[in-house]
Structure 1
Amino acid sequence: MTEAADQALLRRFLLGLAEGMNAAADSTDKIRDTLVKVSSAYGRDDTDVVVLPTVILIETAAGDEGRVAIRSSVNASFRFDQIAALYRLIDAAGRAELTPLEGITRLNEIGAMKPSHGWIVRTFGHAVLTTGLALLLAPTWQGALVAFVLGAFIGVAKLVRSPTLQIVFPVFAAFACATAVFLIAPYFAIGDPIRLLIAPLATFLPGGVLTTAVVELAAGQMLAGASRLVFGLVQLSLLAFGILAAGTLVGVGSSSYVALDSGDGFPWWTALFGVLLFAIGNYLHFSAPPRTFGWVLLVLLVAYTGQVAGGALIGASVSGFIGALAMTPVVLWIATLRHGAPSQLTFLPAFWLLVPGAAGLVGLTEAIGTTRGYEDFAEALISIMSIALGVLIGTALYRVVHQGAEEIADFHIDVPAALAEETAPPFWARLLPGTPRSFWGRRRRAASSPRRADASMPPPLAEKSAPSSQATGS
């Protein structure tokens, strides 16, 4: 196979890896670093990568021999079993254990993977996930029962795989759940109706998108971070619109949009039971590999403990900062273990448990549906930013401890070799005899220049006789 064909296969393989990591909700800076590492493992250190949430560009070689491949990323999302298989492939590619053609075949197999659980188990898992979150947000038995039923309804509806319906489905889900909760609230003690609504809508909340956006902005990926931030805020607004539309249809007052105190309906250990149910629900609904369940549960417990401690020490609005700061190093440490779990497998459930998007949804709904307005919207933004800041600081601290501090990169542009000029040596080096462009060499050249400049002077005898002697010897 020719070198051009090998490069084309490598570019196609790298595009597939980038598209898969986009489907796993990875940040663009991490995707770029991974592709550069894989390309280097295959002997290509001249690869340049540009990654955006919807566009991927990869160039191999440089100059006139450079070739660019481009791909528009599809709107796909991987289950947890697909994410685990993708990261196993990335580990193998980082050691060049398979050819690019074999890697492309593996990527296609990952994209066509069937869920390890059937639709009934996955629907039940979504219902369990919703119930566990309801026990943390609105702890009443009636609220937990309503959350289980709504979670099963959303779980069945999410089985429909249609790109067109996925755009409008969050609004429909928010409208349907809010209508049911507002109609039931006057007759059953379900607790806070707004917080109860968060449970069945948890997997639609853009908490991970918003946090990834802030991390990308901090990493200098302005286009990717800004686009994700706008997308996350629009998704929050659509969910809030569905809730407000249901409230208008049912005819609820503005007081129904204000979050109430959760109360002390359950003992303290109920929260731990809710975290366990939340982990089980994620495992069943997203078809996670069995070996990852313990790691997910560990991260959830760390995140929840940090959030509770942050609420007691600092306040509820920034309690997510402590939870995110505590769980981020644990997530990154687990990803480095031989039998650990990929970071996205443990990050995403922790995001939904910390509910950065849930706090934003509550605040946005209150801001639009009540007279409190900007105060609630500001609290929503503070809640989102606090968790994003916790993830950012936790990631930075882990990298400093695990990898060491890196110096700031210098701004530098390589000049083509044909136009490059000889770099002048430092002054101290030019004082030493025998170094390039030395002052001593210049003096010797100046002393001999008159003799060499005279074109009429015949060359030395030795120089004239050397060719003839060599010819004789030959």
Structure 2
Amino acid sequence: MESSHAAARAPGLDELAGFLTRLTRLLLNTSGEGAEGIEETVTATARALGGDASLLLVPDAATLTVTAADGSARTVTVRGVPEVFRLDQVTALKPLLAEVGAGRMGVAGAALRLTRIEESRPPYPWWAKLIGIVLFALGFAPLMQPTWYEVASTAVLATIAAALAVAADRRPRLSAVLPLLVSTVISIVTIEVFARTPSHGGPVLLMLPALFFFVPGDYLSAATAELAAGRMTTGAIRLVNAVFLLLQLYLGVLLGVYATGTSTRALFDIAAASDLPRWALFLSWIVFTAGTVLAFAVPYRLFWPLLALVYLTVAVQSLATKLIGETAGTFVAAVALTATATVLARSPHRPPRLVLLLPGFFTLTVGSLGMRGLTTLAGGYVIEGFQDLLKLVTIVTAIAVGMVVGATVVRRE
């Protein structure tokens, strides 16, 4: 009696395939930090609704096969653009999937909720995203050079970069060349206005905080983590994409150098003497987290738990680095962050793992090393450039393996 009643409520193929296709597309569109979990989520949701599903996945597409309770099947190709800029949608999706998984919601109700999530407006206006990108860069600036000059120049340069990013949201065609455009403009302004004397540090060190929002260090680490977890196709494709974005930024810096008539020898990598007090360095992580919330559309109620995870990551990395060195310290911090976020995300009432990971993950990200290495090489400083690139490969691998270990140690339920 029970099974026949369940079969009567089981959705038809059209209903089930339509819902799972839209779900897969939304998951792809928010998978800039990695496609891990998409297949598991879609197949588990299909089973909860009385059907079955299988996926063949690459970073920007999936071949989805849906089987209904009556045995009928359909295969569709789903395409998406992997990004991480609407984490409010990721956050809203988790309780929906939890209700479906618990059997409290059928496909019709789930489809209506999914429509509301898809059609929802960003939680913050455009000017808040602009402010968020600026705060994001200001929080990162002391990591490059702990000087007041670095902070002041970043405030100006990041405002320019943020204005271009917001403009690209309204002009989608601009998005394809946004990294190249931003790095070219920032390079010209930095060289002409801020990098007038070596006492303020190298030009690239002045540029990087403003470009950090566009530097694909997180993509590089996510790609390496996917490779380490055995997801060869998604990892390799994401790695190529991350390298392409990094090369766009590098080319933009060089175009700025050529446009100003400056010698590439000006791309030296020397830091200025520190003059920031310790309290400013400590508070910079608060600014950084606030910027992350606004720039990536994270619900503001999550600010405090995300800030706690940022400070946890920084504290573990700092302590472990002093004890066992930078590479091992980064590995230990990645394990601690991933394990903590995985445990916290188990509850359906808490934020998704991706949202919990992201700010702390940015504190470990190393895309700036790739930029520094490439520009230092372009400036003719071969040994220093290759040292930065070798460090990039080492740290990326440490983060990726640390994430895999952290997730494995506390296995998600």
Fold-level match, TM-score > 0.5? yes
Equivalent positions of 1:52-201 (< 5 A) are 52-61=58-67, 65-74=72-81, 77-160=84-167, 161=169, 162-183=171-192, 184-186=194-196, 190-201=200-211
Q: Equivalent residue for 1:380?
A: 392
Q: Equivalent residue for 2:245?
A: 235
Aligned-partner SS, 1:186: coil
Partners of 2:24 and 2:78 within 8 A in 1: no
Partners of 1:138 and 1:190 within 8 A in 2: no
Aligned-partner SS, 1:203: coil
Confirm or deny that 1:23 pairs with 2:29: yes
Structure 2 distance, partners of 1:125, 1:379, is 29
Partners of 1:320 and 1:387 within 8 A in 2: yes
Equivalent positions of 1:281-292 (< 5 A) are 281-292=291-302
Partners of 1:150 and 1:200 within 8 A in 2: yes
Structure 2 distance, partners of 1:287, 1:345, is 10
Q: 2:47 aligns with which of 40, 48, 54?
A: 40
Superposed CA offset, 1:79-108 (max 9, x none): 222221122222223223333233333333
| CA separation of 1:259 and 1:316: change in aligned 2, threshold 3 A | farther
Query: By how many angstroms is 1:389 displaced?
Result: 1.9
Q: Equivalent residue for 2:4?
A: none
Query: By how many angstroms is 1:298 displaced?
Result: 1.3
| CA separation of 1:346 and 1:358: change in aligned 2, threshold 3 A | farther
Query: By how many angstroms is 1:290 displaced?
Result: 2.4
Greater displacement, 197-206 / 92-101: 92-101
Greater displacement, 181-190 / 166-175: 181-190
Aligned-partner SS, 2:177: helix
Q: Equivalent residue for 1:269?
A: 279
Aligned-partner SS, 2:75: strand
Structure 2 distance, partners of 1:65, 1:271, is 60
Partners of 1:52 and 1:224 within 8 A in 2: yes
Aligned-partner SS, 2:276: coil
Aligned-partner SS, 2:373: helix
| CA separation of 1:309 and 1:247: change in aligned 2, threshold 3 A | farther
Superposed CA offset, 1:203-225 (max 9, x none): 21212222221222223221111
Query: By how many angstroms is 1:3 displaced?
Result: 9.1
Aligned-partner SS, 1:204: coil
The AA in structure 2 aligned to 1:73 is G
Structure 2 distance, partners of 1:153, 1:358, is 19
Q: 2:405 aligns with which of 365, 389, 393?
A: 393
The AA in structure 2 aligned to 1:391 is M
Task: Count residues in correspondence.
Answer: 400
Query: By how many angstroms is 1:43 displaced?
Result: 2.0
Look at both structures and tell me which one has the larger radius of gyration over its CA atoms. 1
Aligned-partner SS, 2:121: coil
Superposed CA offset, 1:206-262 (max 9, x none): 122222212222232211111001111111111111112212333444454333246
Aligned-partner SS, 1:116: coil
Structure 2 distance, partners of 1:309, 1:18, is 40
Superposed CA offset, 1:415-437 (max 9, x none): xxxxxxxxxxxxxxxxxxxxxxx
Aligned-partner SS, 1:220: coil
Aligned-partner SS, 2:78: strand
Higher relative contact order (CA 8 A, sep 6+): 2
Partners of 1:359 and 1:383 within 8 A in 2: no
Structure 2 distance, partners of 1:50, 1:3, is 28
Q: 2:57 aligns with which of 43, 51, 60?
A: 51
The AA in structure 2 aligned to 1:120 is W
Equivalent positions of 1:427-442 (< 5 A) are none
Greater displacement, 375-384 / 277-286: 375-384
Q: Equivalent residue for 1:366?
A: 376
| CA separation of 1:261 and 1:35: change in aligned 2, threshold 3 A | same
Superposed CA offset, 1:436-466 (max 9, x none): xxxxxxxxxxxxxxxxxxxxxxxxxxxxxxx
Aligned-partner SS, 2:410: helix
Structure 2: which 5+ residue stretches go unaligned? 1-6
Q: 1:350 aligns with which of 350, 360, 383?
A: 360
Query: By how many angstroms is 1:188 displaced?
Result: 9.0
Q: Equivalent residue for 1:471?
A: none
Give the TM-score taking structure 2 as reference length.
Answer: 0.88
The AA in structure 2 aligned to 1:370 is G
Confirm or deny that 1:322 pairs with 2:328: no
Superposed CA offset, 1:124-181 (max 9, x none): 2221221111123222112211111222222222223233211100111111112212
Structure 1 distance, partners of 2:198, 2:394, is 33
Aligned-partner SS, 2:196: coil
Partners of 1:320 and 1:383 within 8 A in 2: yes
Superposed CA offset, 1:57-80 (max 9, x none): 222339984321222224665422
